[in-house]
Amino acid sequence: MVSDAQRAFVRLKRALGPERSRRWLRGARAAVNAAGEWVLWVRGAEEKQHIETRFAGALQRAFPGPVRINAGRSVAQTVVPTLRKGFLLDPANAPTARLVREFVEGGPASSALLVLYGPDGSGKSSLLEVAASLGGKRVFRLDLNRLGAGARGGWTPRKPVVLADGVECLAGRPAAQRALCSVLDGVRAKGHRFLLSICDHPRLLPNLQPALRSRLLGGVLAPLSPPGPVVVRQRLRERAHSRGRKLSAEMEGRWSRLPLQDALLHLDAHLAGEPAPVAYSANEMLLHLLKDEAARAFDVERALLDESTKRRSVVEARRAVMAVAVRGGLDPAEIAPLMGLRSSRTVAEACRRVEARRLRDERFAGLLDVMRRVLPGG
């Protein structure tokens, strides 16, 4: 899957031409760092100075925002200093990272509460580390594990920015949830800001008291997508390197298309000489990636695409997944059981409806084009 940063880098190379690209962009790479900034890595100080002075116009045309140029530093090294080594932000989460930065630095905000939610490995804790680094002494880290019956009622941190990681740890702890409600009310009353993370949408998380759930839903909800192939590949390399091993390109390519946790399980089993914990077929991998893209394109919850529901937006997204999968060469008879359907006729009907809408709706056709990026050769 081609990221926005890779597309911008290709536009830059085209703007410079083949000769200047070979001279000044050899070994260069573009990505979005943990703070949500566009970054271009080049080989040395000479290349950096030349690109900044001679190619400023080409940079502005190629990248959608300001670009920071770093010389002689790898993707794994160019992160906010307080982050754990090797953290790389998935490009799909760049808007949320920029929102976190503006929120912590005191930019305009529609609410005093910002809630980051997403699955494990999506970068919630790392973005909180980014916020702590940006806020410096203005930030107070609230330890949710210490909230409970002994918490003082009405207590509020004095610092203007409060961070809390992993609200799901309070599920089933009513006293701790009441204490957090008290802190949230105090922060809002003082005009301060509260940034917290949670593993799922507050509406879907069980064992939360109505008072806490309503407060979380009243804030700005910022979703984080699961890490894509670029981030998964980077994590695999770091895990293997930490154990003195190097993965082949074939293994990296195969495992980078899996969810992060499954990819790490495969790696650990491989390094230990054990059989793979889960067997994923190529069709299952492709459908998983298409569902990820459909969730982003149609703005629906990713988990809902694995269920059979009559909600219109989810039905449209599921139909798009099936139609693009058929275009990618999958047999409708193979798609049906993987999508939880009884008959391949449902897949064929979905393809017919998607094609009819694609011909009359340009926006819908654009969404399908975005999803086709994950197809082999797409």
206 and 235 belong to one structural domain: no
Residue 359 is encoded by which pair of tokens?
């011909």
104 and 139 belong to one structural domain: yes
Token pair 């925002």 is at which residue? 65
Residue 76 domain flag: no
303 and 252 belong to one structural domain: no
Can you give the residue range of the structural domain that contains 61?
4-71
How high is the pLDDT of residue 258? 77
Residue 251 domain flag: yes
The answer, yes or no, to whether residue 113 has pLDDT greater than 80, is yes
Residue 147 domain flag: yes
Residue 86 domain flag: no
Helix (H) or strand (E) holding 163: strand 161-164
202 and 239 belong to one structural domain: no
129 and 205 belong to one structural domain: yes
> Which among 243, 271, 299 is the end of a domain?
271
219 and 137 belong to one structural domain: yes
> Domain of 143: which CATH number?
3.40.50.300
Separation CA 257–CA 374 (nearest Å) = 10
pLDDT per position as a tens digit, 151-205 = 454 567 888 999 999 898 887 788 889 889 999 999 988 889 999 999 888 887 7
How high is the pLDDT of residue 1? 38
233 and 206 belong to one structural domain: no
Residue 84 domain flag: no
Mean per-residue pLDDT for 316-341?
A: 88
102 and 218 belong to one structural domain: yes
Cβ contacts of residue 87 below 8 Å, gap of 6+?
A: 34, 79, 123, 126
- Note every long-range contact of 2-9, with CB atoms under 8 Å and residues 24 or more positions apart, other chains counting: 2/373, 3/31, 3/32, 3/91, 3/228, 3/230, 4/32, 4/64, 4/91, 4/94, 5/30, 5/31, 5/32, 5/38, 5/91, 6/30, 8/38, 8/62, 8/63, 8/64, 9/40, 9/62
Domain count of the fold of the chain: 4
15 and 37 belong to one structural domain: yes
How high is the pLDDT of residue 17? 80
pLDDT per position as a tens digit, 217-251 = 999 999 888 777 777 888 888 888 888 888 888 88
> Domain of 60: which CATH number?
3.30.300
Give me the percent of the chain exceeding a pLDDT of 90: 13
Separation CA 232–CA 263 (nearest Å) = 7
Q: Looking at the DSSP assignment, which residues form a beta bridge with residue 42?
A: 71
The model's pTM: 0.53
Q: For the chain, first and last CA: distance in Å? A: 8
